[in-house]
Amino acid sequence: MTSSFRKRLLDAATAPYRQAGHFAWHFARGKLGRDPVFFSLLADGAFPPRARIVDLGCGQGLLSNWLTAAGRLHAAGDWPPDWPAAPQLEAYRGIELMPNDVNRALPALPPGAVVEQGDIRDAPLGEVNVVVILDSLHYIEPAAQEAVLERARDALAPDGTLIMRVGDAAAGLPFLLCTWADRLITSVRGHRLGTLYCRPAAEWQRTLERLGFNVRPQAMDAGTPFANTLLLARLKA
């Protein structure tokens, strides 16, 4: 991937946030540009060719614009030759607790995408082939985490994919840095952070396997001081 492609994708994915205000646009630039997970999901072909997504704890819905921009660049032939084809975003529904984030998401959403204010502990998840949970499950209590994961599995079509990122509570100082950064970013976004319910990445993996997923863990913190793990989980046939 060249740096000019990187910039074109970032520009296309963040342009819609100009309509959502200064903060939303800068936040989108910072997060999509610096967090390795967004480029990696495309480079690794994490999504099925036609993705119907529910995004739990979606923040300002960055993933919807990221995949829409990727689809446009791919259709225009502007795509790294060593990457799999960009997924086609057939449906995107984000669920987000904080009204501030929902309000930043709404003016920027691509056609057909939806972001709803709700609590992932009880919001209906619908029927999808991808459930995304990026950095949002550790905000809720362990029993609720288990219940969300069970409902995520039940929402998935056969062969469905769960894409989940977690801080690895077994990682020592880099994990502590994750939690400090979480507190800082949460307060910059205008919220207060309560208790966090983190676990070692290996424990998350075991939980998903028990629920019927094949899991591929991948370090997802390149270029950052943090200890984040991406768990790419596919429902066993």
Ligand X SMILES: C[S@@+](CC[C@H](N)C(=O)[O-])C[C@H]1O[C@@H](n2cnc3c(N)ncnc32)[C@H](O)[C@@H]1O
Interface residues with ligand X (CB under 6 A) are 31, 57-59, 62, 95-98, 101, 119-121, 134-136, 139-140
Which residues have CB under 8 Å from 48's CB, separation 6+?
87, 129, 130, 161
Nearer to ligand X, 22 or 158 (CB): 22
| Shortest distance (Å) from residue 55 CB to ligand X | 7
Lookup: tokens for 40 = 């990696």
Please report how close the Cβ of residue 117 comes to ligand X at its closest, in angstroms.
9
Nearest-CB residue for ligand X? 57
Nearer to ligand X by Cβ, of 135 and 168: the residue is 135
**CA nearest neighbour of 215 among 46, 15, 24, 33:** 46
- Residue 107 tokens, joined: 């003016």
- Angle CA 103–94–57, to nearest 5: 85
- DSSP-derived secondary structure for 41-102: HHHTT-S-SEEEEEEET-TTTHHHHHHHHHHHHHHTT-S-TTSPPPPEEEEEEEEES-HHHH
Pairing relationship of beta strands 156-167 and 228-235 according to DSSP bridges: antiparallel
CA dist., res. 111 & res. 89, Å (int): 10
For residue 5, the minimal CB distance to ligand X (Å) is 22
We find the least distance from the C-beta atom of residue 82 to ligand X, in angstroms, to be: 25
**Which CB, 58 or 152, lies closer to ligand X?**
58
Closest by Cα among 91, 52, 44, 54 to 230: 44
Residue 61 CB, nearest approach to ligand X (Å): 8
Closest distance between ligand X and the C-beta of residue 172, in Å?
21
Kindly tell me which of 213 and 226 has the beta carbon lying closer to ligand X: 226
CB-nearer residue toward ligand X: 24 or 58: 58
Give the Cβ contact number of residue 121 at 10 Å: 15
CB nearer to ligand X: pick between 12 and 178: 178
